[in-house]
Amino acid sequence: MKLARTQAGLLAVLLATVPALAQESAPDFWHRDTLTGDWGGIRTTLAEQGVTFTLKYTSDLQANVAGGIRRGAVYDGVFEPEIDIDLDKAVGWNGASASVSMLQISGPSATAWYVGNLLNVSSINGLPATRLYNAWLQQNAFDDVLSVRVGLMNVDAEFFTSPTASLFVSSTFGWPGILAIDLPGGGPAYPLSAPMVRVRLQPTQDLSLMAAVFSGDPTGGNGSNSLSTLQPDGTTVSFNGGALVMAEASYAINQGKDAKGPPFAAKFGGWYHSSQRFGDQRFDNMGLSLADPSSDAVPFNHHGDWGLYAIMDAMVYQVPGGSGAGLSAFARVASAPGDQNLISFYADAGLTYKGLLPTRGSDLIGIAAAYARIGNRARALDLDFQSFGLVFTPVRSEEVILELTYQAQVTGWWTMQPDLQAVFNPGGRMANANNTVRPNALVIGLRSQLTF
């Protein structure tokens, strides 16, 4: 509640500036890109000096209306201030740039309280906290063929991303569930980050190669992949839990505004994590099933983890005239070993259309689905529990999310996004407290984003 009141206070201060700033000559209040405008010319002056301020507030109102754990609704919010600096313009440092950002998160989790699924139904949800998010320095060289970035960063800012999938509200269409569930602390992805070094090579306009090393456990823990690992409630700069290595190759064509054909991009990548605490999904240190009453219930620890992935983004149909309207598609697949990972295979895909309505050229509509398969060893553990007959344990299989969403560009600085998510087999197929299989859930929501 304290964070919510603080956040409300920040919003009140920013909104109070609107009447004065709304008198700026051009563009008018309803057609400019930011709610608070140009700050009397200050923003433009700073941008010319290489300093850009971004202030965003995103909120989700979500209600689980059927199935899951129980019915209920939540309100989540995140305030994201960011400063980006072109150090060439600012101080004459050729090829250098920097960025600093923070997060202030409030609100409970619809997934944790009401749905009980693995693939979080909100991409902005996190433990209520105020924290430093990004703080990095980047140096480009050789006409931007080489780029090196050092500092604190979230891995999902650059790796395993699909620009088409970013429309959707479920977190798995941003940072895919296979990594959010399998890596220690969910990996250094929203709402966490970690110290890192990233190197990118772009030998041609269409081809780029990128690799990075991140600190292994963004929670400050010991690198365990236990799902019980809690997020810190403030800024944590962790060098614990081994190291996460990410590598990705990208081939992208027709990405510019003046491209002669529709844009297309393909990415291939992989990850390796050096932690020595990837717990086995079935066996303990003595080789006994974790369901065996004789077991010490301490999973056998595997040393290291890895996985591979592929991504495709393409514009399937482009409306003539260069407006950017049309039909786009994305697809992603990933795989990881099933002995130490709860999710062994993941896939998602979707379609988006920009400008479906003639009078709403900036609006987006989309439909997408995500599939997360429970690994064979975790399934076998469920069968072991059934054979010992101590507790009611359904055999987990997979979790599927189907999402339908529409993003309306109300003004240049405000979007509203009604959203509908169907969650099949929440938790992979879990039991509720009344010893029944958790039923499929239906979540309705409304996302709002303000750019100040």
Could you read off the pLDDT of 344-400 as tens digits, one per residue?
999 999 999 999 998 999 999 999 999 999 999 999 999 999 999 878 889 999 999
Sign of the CA dihedral running 118, 119, 120, 123:
positive
Q: Is the pTM of this model over 0.75?
A: yes
Rounded to an integer, the average pLDDT of 296-301 is: 94
User: What residues does 102 pair with on adjacent strands?
Assistant: 132
Rounded to an integer, the average pLDDT of 127-148 is: 96
How many angstroms separate the first and last alpha carbons of the chain? 23
Where do the structural domains in the chain lie, given as residue ranges?
Answer: 49-451
Q: Would you say 186 and 343 are in contact if contact means Cβ atoms under 8 Å apart?
A: no
Q: Which of 31-35, 225-229, 414-418 has the lowest mean pLDDT?
A: 225-229
Rounded to an integer, the average pLDDT of 291-312 is: 96
Over residues 172-222, the pLDDT tens digits come to 999 999 999 999 999 999 999 999 999 999 999 999 999 999 999 999 999
* Type of residue numbered 384: D
Instruction: Give the pLDDT of residue 228.
Output: 64
What are the backbone angles phi and psi of residue 115, rounded to the nearest 5°?
A: -95, -45
Instruction: Give the pLDDT of residue 116.
Output: 97
The percentage of residues in the chain with a pLDDT greater than 70, rounded to a whole number, is 94
Q: Would you say 219 and 231 are in contact if contact means Cβ atoms under 8 Å apart?
A: yes
Q: How far apart are CA 154 and CA 124, in angstroms?
A: 14
Over residues 250-296, the pLDDT tens digits come to 999 988 777 778 899 999 999 999 999 999 999 999 999 999 999 99
Average pLDDT of the residues of the chain: 92
Task: Grade residue 14 by pLDDT with cuts at 50, 70 and 90.
Answer: very low
Of residues 392 and 97, the one with the higher pLDDT is 97
Rounded to an integer, the average pLDDT of 296-311 is: 96
Q: Would you say 32 and 23 are in contact if contact means Cβ atoms under 8 Å apart?
A: no
The percentage of residues in the chain with a pLDDT greater than 90, rounded to a whole number, is 84
Q: What is the DSSP string of 210-262?
A: EEEEEES-TTSS-S---TTPPPPSS------S-EEEEEEEEEEES-STT-SS-
Q: Which CATH class is domain 49-451?
A: mainly beta
